[in-house]
């Protein structure tokens, strides 16, 4: 049980690269219990001198693009290069049962059992942005445990997915071959934030379509506003099934990291990630604090009834609660 360990015990175990204790620590920071929140805060503060030494990669893509297949091939390639890889897979949780499938460990068969890899599925629990409320803190724990590459696999492409780019160094967008009509369906916000695009499933009879799609997306990126750092997003083609083009994706990410480090944007982005995490957690805590106010549930039910009867608007009801 996570409750039986102190923040100091968690710290010592994580720095000793104890993966079982890392999992328990993540469970603790995801907890809504007041005592767990206190220990989580103590643990994260104590680990700050040991974090920041990884490359954080956010990966998103349309349904069916093969995110898990790509991540397994990519992760195994990184391990072959001597890297330790952590995958934080965010699964959508049901609004009815509040459960989630959490199936990435079954989809990434090789990576999930490799001693140099760690896969942590987490339910989104209603959190928008393609991440959970504690994804940033989970990244810090994984870095302290010695992982060199942290991959955040989001729920799927949508307007809210853009938040993952604010907790990662490199934002990778996976797309299917066949550009044309598919190009019309891309969220402009996602494209503007992408540091790189990879056309997946470029195998068997799909290779030529993939190359054509690469050209289409490259042209689309040309019309996007230039990045502040001066980085020009690249478009790559790969086949995770045939293990082709995977190392080229890593080379692109390395080029990006070198470019960002040279001009100071890498460090600046890390600072912004911390500020983003602060505001996100502040919003969560303010909401939880408000909802714990005595008598609030009864007031909410009363206001719901008045809204249903058409006596007041939702806008007015919210104002009554806040006042």
Q: Express each pLDDT in 165-188 by its tens digit.
A: 889 999 999 988 764 445 545 556
Biggest CA-to-CA distance, the chain: 65
pLDDT for res 280: 86
* C-beta of residue 252 within 8 angstroms of C-beta of residue 236: yes
Q: Which helix (H) or strand (E) holds 299?
A: helix 296-308
What letters, b where the CB count within 10 A reaches 16 and e where it falls short, cover 148-160?
A: bbbbbbbbbbbeb
307 or 97, which is more confident: 307
Confidence of residue 288 (pLDDT cuts 50, 70, 90): confident
The mean pLDDT value for 212-227 works out to 84
| % of the chain residues with pLDDT over 70 | 84
Per-residue confidence (pLDDT) for residue 108, from 0 to 100: 85
Do residues 175 and 197 touch, judged by C-beta distance below 8 A? yes
pLDDT bracket for residue 42 (50, 70, 90): very high
User: Does the CA dihedral 10-37-155-48 come out positive or negative?
Assistant: negative
Query: Residue 194: which of 224, 216, 238 has the closest Cα?
Result: 224
Nearest by Cα to 229 from 262, 187, 197? 262
* CATH of the domain spanning 1-50: 1.20.5.170
Contact, 28 vs 2, CB < 8 A?
A: yes
What are the angstrom distances between the C-alpha of 29 and each of 32, 45, 63, 153, 263? 8, 12, 29, 19, 34
Q: Look at residue 178 in the predicted model and tell me its pLDDT.
A: 65
* Mean pLDDT calculated for residue range 149-178: 81
Any idea which fold 52-263 has? Answer: Rossmann fold (3.40.50)
For the segment 14-40, the average pLDDT, to the nearest whole number, is: 93
- For residue range 241-278, list pLDDT tens digits in order: 899 999 999 999 999 999 999 999 999 999 999 999 99
Question: Would you say 246 and 240 are in contact if contact means Cβ atoms under 8 Å apart?
Answer: yes
Q: Which residues contact 164 (CB under 8 A, 6 or more apart)?
A: 58, 60, 129, 130, 131, 135, 152, 154, 171
Taking only the tens place, the pLDDT of each residue in 95-148 is 333 444 445 555 788 999 999 999 998 764 444 444 456 889 999 999 999 999
Comparing 15-24, 134-143, 222-231, the range with the smallest average pLDDT is 222-231
Distance CA 71, CA 205 (A): 22
Q: Where are the domains of the chain?
A: 1-50, 52-263, 279-322
The predicted model scores a pTM of 0.86
Q: How confident is the prediction for the chain on average, in pLDDT? A: 85
């Amino acid at each position: 049980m996570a409750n039986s360990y102190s923040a100091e015990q968690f710290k010592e175990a994580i720095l000793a690269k104890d993966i079982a204790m890392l999992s328990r620590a993540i469970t603790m920071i995801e907890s809504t219990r007041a005592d767990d929140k206190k220990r989580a805060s103590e643990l994260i503060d104590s680990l700050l001198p040991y974090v920041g030494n990884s490359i954080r990669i956010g990966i998103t893509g349309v349904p069916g693009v093969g995110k898990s297949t790509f991540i397994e091939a990519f992760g195994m390639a990184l391990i072959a290069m001597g890297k330790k890889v952590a995958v934080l897979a965010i699964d959508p949780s049901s609004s009815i049962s509040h459960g989630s499938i959490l199936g990435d460990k079954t989809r990434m068969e090789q990576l999930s059992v490799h001693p140099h890899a760690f896969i942590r599925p987490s339910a989104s629990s209603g959190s928008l942005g393609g991440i959970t409320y504690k994804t940033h803190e989970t990244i810090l724990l994984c870095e302290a445990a010695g992982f060199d590459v942290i991959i955040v696999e989001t729920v799927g492409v949508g307007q809210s997915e853009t938040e993952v780019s604010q907790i990662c160094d490199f934002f990778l967008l996976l797309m299917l071959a066949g550009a044309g009509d598919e190009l019309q369906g891309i969220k402009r916000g996602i494209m503007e934030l992408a540091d790189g695009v990879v056309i997946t499933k470029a195998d068997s009879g799909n290779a030529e379509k993939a190359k054509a799609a690469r050209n289409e997306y490259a042209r689309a990126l040309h019309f996007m506003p230039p990045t502040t750092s001066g980085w020009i997003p690249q478009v790559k083609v790969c086949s995770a099934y045939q293990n082709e083009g995977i190392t080229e994706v890593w080379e692109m990410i390395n080029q990006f990291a070198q470019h960002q480090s040279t001009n100071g944007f890498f460090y600046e982005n890390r600072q912004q990630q911390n500020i983003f995490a602060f505001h996100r957690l502040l919003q969560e805590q303010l909401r939880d604090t408000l909802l714990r106010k005595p008598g609030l549930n009864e007031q909410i039910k009363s206001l719901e009834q008045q809204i249903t009867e058409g006596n007041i608007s939702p806008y007015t009801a919210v104002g009554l609660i806040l006042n």
